[in-house]
Structure 1
């Protein structure tokens, strides 16, 4: 599965991040090949993932945002056992490790808010070994994106606050393999 995720990220540089049912429906009509699920609850997540899979797209569930799932490894087990998700997104390194054990793709999400956060990225990636890293906000200085991309051995997605073609181009030119956004207009650029 890891190869499929990396190939999809390289093939289509825009990932649709959906935060509600309306956004989900719109994302299915986009050319985005990957959809990040940022909403839902434990009862509804299987059907959300099914819609994405039926649309021929990869589904990655932001496990930290699903109501009723805890920050424990059992939440990853639930996603693996009861959904057809291709992988998870999380801010928790232990959940990335569990996803790897279960054969799910994993994206470790970081918020780059200061130099301490920046310094922790490399250490946490070495320990957790995610397939991909997502850093937010995606419109941070290209110099910082470039620094992170050079220091890691995994693909980097720039996410958050990306709303214009120039934002996409700046992130990609700095070394990000892709961008993720909830901005529906960007899905159709």
Structure 2
């Protein structure tokens, strides 16, 4: 993982995750150095990324959520060629591999909904080799503490975080950052 990205994640325990244009405007005034872009389509994603980048923030595109892109490696090529995104977020290990080949930062998003999903984490890490993983839902500090111990890369927690108490419990569990679409969390 490149030094700038690692420092931005470590220095910014809260990552603003945006899901609409209103969130885009608000995130620019937050202290979050890293922005997760969770919306857009092939026509407007270059502009959304440019807005984030022009404010001096790191733009991570959740490629699975961009309308008009397929789940094939060519979608990563599109993001790399037609936007200035710093990296991608995805649930697909093959897209992580392609993004790494293109020099993009990578975050593998994992949904830990049961023991089978939990036991599959090590395999996913070995296969995809992402820079970071994001575990959802976040409100499982005990489980996240175990994930942090077994993970070979830093862990981000996301989903359902609603207050400072949640944030503190997650940081104590060992996650490096918390991603949230909840604007109140961005300004803690």
CA RMSD of aligned residues (A): 0.7
Q: Is 1:69 the equivalent of 2:69?
A: yes
Equivalent residues in 2 for 1:146-185 (5 A)?
A: 146-185=145-184
The equivalent residue for 1:104 is 104
- TM-superposed CA distance for 1:4, in Å, is 1.7
Which whole-Å deviations, capped at 9, do the CAs of 1:21-46 have from their partners, x for residues lacking one? 00000000111111000000001000
Which whole-Å deviations, capped at 9, do the CAs of 1:6-29 have from their partners, x for residues lacking one? 111110100000000000000001
The equivalent residue for 1:2 is 2
CA distance in 2, matches of 1:5, 1:156: 14
Equivalent residues in 2 for 1:5-84 (5 A)?
A: 5-84=5-84
CA distance in 2, matches of 1:85, 1:16: 15
| TM-score, normalisation: structure 1 | 0.98
CA distance in 2, matches of 1:174, 1:66: 31
SS state at 1:29 partner: coil
Which whole-Å deviations, capped at 9, do the CAs of 1:106-156 have from their partners, x for residues lacking one? 00000110000001111011111000000000111x221111011011000
CA distance in 1, matches of 2:182, 2:119: 29
5+ long unaligned stretches in structure 1: none
Question: Alignment length, in residue pairs?
Answer: 188
